[in-house]
Amino acid sequence: MMEQIQPPSAAHRPVRAVLLDLDGVLVDSIEVAWEAFTRAYAEVVGDGAAPVDEYCRYPGHHLPDVLRMMGLPAAMAEPFVRESHRLAHRVSPVPGVPELLGTLRRRGARLAVATGRSGVRARTLLDRLGLLASFDHVIGADEVPRPKPAPDIVLRALSLLRVPPGEAVLVGDAASDIASARGAGVTAAAALWGESDPDTLLAAGPDVVLASPVDILRFCPAGAADRPADVHGG
């Protein structure tokens, strides 16, 4: 049975920075990723069924690392990215996310994306969806020395935001997100609405489990801190 962990209450000290994974947490992109992977496999490897089920065991990881761990050709990365761009019109925000981001900004939270995608791909997608301007920074796995599950991307976000680890939370839907958050010393929040199996995500040992995006607001309760958003995407 899945352990139930309650989201933080308004009585807890509010955080100053909310870091978010992209795929599965902010946007619904899993079907596009499956199709892009299948097409890349057919183009590079050839006949036979693409091992999509195995590919799905590595949510949150940088694509080159996934291909290496699966023993697949690195050459699959180019057609995967190409097909992902071609199919990007089928990616949409997770319901409620645009409103959530606006509320977090008004409550004074600093926001950053920490994703397993490349930085360019992440910013391009967020811009197309009209969400890029909601974030102070968007950091891709190719923009730090080591991608998740290493803590580098979280530490980079904290440095850019000028927020100490004890005043930040990372919301992710993969075990690699939880490991990255713990390594950086920030609160690790598991997003149950994402792409990972809930039991697998809980087994990673998050500090907090969130059932829906609106639960993120518990970290930044309404109050005197509410202000007009002053946002610089990047």
Catalytic residues: 21
Whole-angstrom Cα distance, residue 108 to residue 228?
8
Q: What's the rounded Cα separation, in Å, for the pair 86 and 98?
A: 23
Q: How far is CA 104 from CA 8, 9, 34, 74, 79, in A?
A: 15, 16, 31, 39, 36
Q: What angle do CA 31, 169, 121 make, to 5 degrees?
A: 35
Nearest CA to 210 among 53, 93, 92, 97?
Answer: 97
